[in-house]
């Protein structure tokens, strides 16, 4: 699956977002970073077809996403939104099963649901009413739904908006590693909105967003340090952990809380 945005823009009220121009290749992992309200989630929702494009084009495998039916899109693209609320008190098993509605392969349907829940660290939540779960637990059930949806698909696209925001640090790393492994095994591309800079450094590329526009498309490594400092208005230091991986640490300005 190859995704291409060419001068894609949309209008929300009086604000214009875009134009957005970038390409996601099969198996590529891209993190979107930016301040709150910069337009990160807007990009995800535009690609997810929640918003109507104003101008330009969004192509999947050379075909406009507007030409795909909802069922066709669901077979190649999974979405984990920022807001995971469901209006009705559905059982968690059913929420995960919703990911299989458009699947062409119905064999081992129940087994896939269980395995997807295990991968999302949510097996113990099966059999519960979704509306009784915490925000972090709901996010894991929806992540399991995405896994179930793209379980037997190759070269798909995973769109995730702050997938680990409501989770403790240990689960954050565990589930991001699981998303990465799941995607690599199936050659799925991943486009993720993140707030944690160091999580983003584990991706292939960074899209830096400011005031509704992409201001930089760059490699996800410490060479982006100065650009990240300008984006967030902070000072960062580059270190390496015990395994040699790059880590960026925010430096607190002198005089604060002294």
Residue 256 predicted with pLDDT over 60: no
Task: Give residue 15's pLDDT.
Answer: 92
Question: Measured between alpha carbons, how far is residue 92 from residues 100, 122, 168, 204 in Å?
Answer: 14, 9, 21, 33
Q: Angle formed by the axes of helices 135-149 and 169-186, to 10°?
A: 10
Give the tokens for residue 18: 């875009």
Over residues 83-119, the pLDDT tens digits come to 766 756 789 999 999 999 888 777 788 899 999 999 9
Q: What pLDDT does 258 receive?
A: 45
Peptide bond into 19 cis (omega under 30): yes
- Mean predicted confidence (pLDDT) in 55-78: 94
Question: pTM of the entire structure?
Answer: 0.93
Give me the percent of the chain exceeding a pLDDT of 90: 78
Distance between CA atoms of residues 206 and 29, nearest Å:
9
Helix residue spans in the chain (DSSP H): 40-47, 70-74, 92-97, 109-119, 135-149, 169-186, 197-200, 225-232
Spatial separation of the C-alpha atoms in residues 129 and 148, rounded to whole Å: 19
- 208-240 pLDDT, tens per residue? 999 999 999 999 998 999 999 999 999 999 998
Which segments within 47-91 are labelled E, that is strand?
55-60, 63-64, 77-80
Looking at residue 241, what is its pLDDT? Answer: 84
Residue showing tokens 């970073």: 33
The pLDDT > 70 percentage for the chain reads 95
| pLDDT tens column, 12-42 | 999 999 999 999 999 999 999 999 999 999 9
């Amino acid at each position: 699956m190859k995704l291409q945005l060419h001068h894609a823009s949309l209008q929300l009220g009086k604000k214009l977002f875009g134009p957005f121009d970038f390409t996601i290749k099969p198996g590529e992992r891209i993190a979107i970073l930016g301040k709150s309200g910069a337009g990160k989630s807007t990009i995800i929702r535009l690609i997810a077809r929640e918003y109507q494009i104003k101008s330009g084009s969004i192509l999947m495998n050379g075909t406009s996403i507007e030409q795909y039916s909802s069922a066709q899109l669901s077979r190649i693209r999974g979405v984990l939104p920022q807001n995971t609320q469901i209006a009705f008190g559905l059982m968690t098993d059913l929420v995960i099963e919703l990911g299989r509605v458009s699947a062409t392969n119905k064999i081992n349907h129940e087994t896939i649901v269980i395995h997807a829940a295990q991968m999302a660290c949510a097996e113990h939540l099966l059999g519960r009413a979704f509306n009784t779960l915490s925000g972090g637990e709901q996010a894991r059930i929806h992540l399991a739904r995405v896994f179930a949806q793209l379980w037997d698909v190759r070269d798909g696209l995973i769109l995730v908006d702050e997938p680990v925001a409501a989770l403790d640090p240990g689960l954050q790393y565990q589930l991001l590693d699981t998303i990465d492994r799941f995607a690599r095994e199936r050659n799925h591309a991943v486009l993720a909105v993140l707030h944690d800079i160091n999580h983003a450094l584990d991706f292939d590329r960074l899209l830096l967003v400011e005031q509704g526009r992409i201001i930089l498309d760059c490699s996800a490594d410490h060479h982006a340090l100065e650009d990240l400092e300008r984006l967030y208005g902070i000072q960062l230091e580059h270190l390496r952990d015990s395994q040699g991986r790059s880590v960026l640490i925010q430096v607190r300005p002198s005089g604060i809380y002294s």
